[in-house]
Structure 1
Amino acid sequence: MTPPPRRPRRRPRRPSRPPGRARLAVGSVALCAVTGLAVVLLQSPDRAGTPTPAAAEPAPPAPVPAVGPPDTPSPRAEQPASAASSAGGSPAGPATTTAPAAGGAADLGGCPVAPADSIWRTPVDRLPAAADSAALVAAIGTAKHLKADFGAGTWEGAPFGIPITAVPPGTPTARVAFDYAEESDRGPYPIPAYELYDAHPQGDGSWRAASGAVFDLRSNALRPTGRTSADAAGLPILPGLARYDEASGGTIDHALRITVPRSRKAALWPARHQAGSSTDAALPPMGLRLRLKAGVDVSGLPPQARAVAQALKTYGAIVADNGSAWYVSGTQDDRWDNTALARLGALTGADFEAVDVSALQLAPDSAAARHP
């Protein structure tokens, strides 16, 4: 079964993005130093509608090598965006697959989604609420409902969520020209590995993208201040995705990625880039940590939804981009139960609070954190 139809919402776009331009966002990647595996995400923007149901309990396919060339990422701001296409790699189209079963919740195919001491993997359930929590939550929307912007099946032919593709060493690289070269990591890029934003294949085999970022899964190094990524906050997408393999085990042991309708022209650690047009202190900045309140009862939720809700209690969510209010990101995986995930909609903004994580920072240019 599928959840009831969602009201269409359009994802805000970065100021540089031309109106009506088709976009291909080739998502988050990082290299795992031990295995040489590149984890690739094809990022689709927030979507509304009814996902096409997947076949019942399909066996997860094996990782498929990606072939072809690409590149993309860049800054953004609160403007309505046209619907984006999400397709993989070259015209031949690399397949996106379910990643291999992980050895642990914060582990993916032998690679950690982030170092053990990363702010992504640091519990925030015992930290104080931010002094301005009420105003920040109100700006996002106290009456707005939480939404799992991921699940099984497709929506308008695109994956419902962000698929992960394992790309082996030796994948061909491609040249990428960037609109924001000063904010992008230099190539060449093994497409579709690494984070690319607004990427388009060119006739000569190269790619054109707004920006590009490369993340090392075993490092806490942050991007230089002021640099974006495929997310407005300049953060990797992979560590913030809810994955079926961890939820099915009952534990998601890291923070999740979340979007807000409007953001302040500011970035809080660990974010590196802002995406707002207003300095209004009541608006949430990029990097803001949000948390499901301890007193919210999630025991009645189905197991998959309960795992997501508990992660939001223990680890919270990091504001990573402008988009729909309270949309939480996860992988596209045909093993998700869309009906169960839809039950997260019983939670609203009033059930959340902003968290002050400033005491966890060890160094401004590192995502390493003190564990409270």
Structure 2
Amino acid sequence: MVRPSARRAAVVAGVLVLLAAGCSDPAASPAAAPAPTGGVTAAPVPPVAPSPVPAARAGLGGRPSPGAAPCRVFPADNVWHADVSRLPVHPRSAAMIAAIGGSATVHADFGSGRWEGAPIGIPVTVVPAGQRRVPVTFGYADESDPGPYPVPPDAAVEGGPNGTGDRHVIVWDRTACRAYELFDAHRSGAGWRAGSGAVFDLRSNRLRPAGRTSADAAGLSILAGLVRYDEVAAGHIDHALRVTVPRTRTGWTWPATHSASAATDPALPQLGPRLRLKRSVDLSRLPRQARIVAEAMQRHGLIVADHGSAWFVSGAPDPRWDNDALHALGGLRGSDFEVVDVTGLMVRAGSGATR
């Protein structure tokens, strides 16, 4: 989870990265500056365009305007969609997996029903074309995309209106094919205030500028990594999944653009590495919903996006989730995963496009 204290550390780490590495993408050069200086020593380490649960605006704006091109969450050649099932294992994989938690179990951090009075997961609010834009003020304005944003007054907030956690707000304009994402979002007058925010052109492979956060610590899109019910209902998830880990070290690994740690322990992963469920893990006995999620972990992997509990996989709430089936993912342990080397996929720094 992204806490304000972590954000302060992130700003410091981001400055160090800028000074030591000249904002270079860690995957661009294997000879990046060493971690103690804040250099980015990268561990070399969706798609179906279904309707997410439009929580606060159920049934409104779930489809693009007539004649509009379908809105895929990033192009087909984007790193989120990459098949990593045959990529090489990173040489420090064992140490990083142990640091995340080799004995810790996977947890689907989404589901049906409510937990502490709020839907379980990170909700997505779909808005119609022409949704009115409102002002948004940011605590970290220098790292955020300025408003106004098309966030409706009843947009769904992670944890509910009175939630005290990360309070993410994800707005998907499928007509314009853009995602507007906020961290620590609260209503404020005629608009909103938030800790940080980012706008993603979902038809572009462009990454955020090096050193900048988003609504996620890694500077990535949250929408891109959420497990959504309609994908599972269709039988296939064609993108990597968002996952949290307890600790990271300074710097970031492509496709991340931001650091939220000053730690220099080389055993720790940075933000951004790709984790893959080992091919040897038998998924045949998992219930259907859990199996489809686990298959995505084997084919597309997980991307370390933020700090939080080990192996917590993010998804959007939906009343159709079978919580008992999702709990079966708890049979997977950290030791069932490996860190993969994705450097061979990168086309150039600043882009999420892959070879």
Superposition TM-score tier, normalisation by shorter sequence = 0.7 to 0.9
Alignment pair present for 1:364 and 2:326 = no
**What are the Cα deviations for residues 21-49 of structure 1, in whole angstroms up to 9, with x where unaligned?**
xxxxxxxxxxxxxxxxxxxxxxxxxxxxx
**How does the TM-score come out when normalised to structure 2?**
0.75
Select which of 183, 198, 220 maps to 1:197.
183
Contact 1:63 1:167 in 2 (8 A): no
Structure (1 or 2) with the greater helix fraction: 2
Is the 8 Å Cα contact of residues 51 and 230 (structure 2) preserved in structure 1? no
Contact 1:98 1:333 in 2 (8 A): no
Residues of 1 paired with 2:240 and 2:297: CA distance? 7
Distance change (3 Å), C-alpha of 1:183 and 1:118: same
CA shift digits 1:242-280 (9 cap, x unpaired): 111111222111100000001111100000001112011
| Alignment partner of 1:188 is 2:173 | no
Partner of residue 196 from structure 2, selected from 191, 211, 223: 211
Q: Is the 8 A contact 1:150 1:161 kept in 2?
A: yes
Distance 1:257 1:166 in 2: 20
Q: Is the counterpart of residue 307 in structure 1 residue 292 in structure 2?
A: yes
1:152-190 deviation per Cα after TM superposition (whole angstroms, max 9, x unaligned): 111112110122221012212111221111101111111
- What fraction of aligned residue pairs are identical, expressed as a percent? 56
Match of 2:93 in 1: 133
Q: Verify the 8 A CA contact 1:291 1:316 in the aligned structure 2.
A: yes
**Aligned equivalent of 1:110, options 65, 70, 93:** 70
* Residue pair 1:223, 1:272 contacting (<8 A) in 2 also: yes
Aligned to 1:264: 249
Deviates more, 1:158-167 or 1:290-299: 158-167
Report the residue type matching 2:230 in the other structure. D
SS in 1 for 2:290: helix
Letter in 2 for 1:124: V
CA RMSD of aligned residues (A): 2.4
SS in 1 for 2:335: helix
Letter in 2 for 1:248: A
Alpha carbons of 1:118 and 1:62: their partners in 2 closer, same or farther (altered >3 Å)? closer
Q: Which residue does 1:146 correspond to in 2? A: 106
Residues 208-250 of structure 1 show CA distances to partners (whole Å, capped at 9, x for unaligned) of 2211100011110101111111110000011111111111222
Q: Does 1:274 align with 2:259?
A: yes
Q: Report the count of equivalent residues.
A: 284
In structure 2, do the counterparts of structure 1 residues 17 and 257 end up closer, same or farther at CA, with 3 Å as the change threshold? closer
The alpha-carbon distance between structure 1 residues 101 and 296, as it changes in their structure 2 partners (threshold 3 A), is: farther
The answer to whether the 8 A contact 2:62-2:128 is kept is no
Structure 1 residue runs without a partner (length 5+): 1-10, 19-59, 65-87, 89-93, 103-108
Measured after TM superposition, the shift of residue 12 of structure 1 is 5.4
Task: Tell me how far apart the structure 2 counterparts of residues 278 and 118 of structure 1 sit (CA, whole Å).
Answer: 30
Any stretches of 5+ residues in structure 2 without a counterpart?
Answer: 9-49, 156-170, 172-179
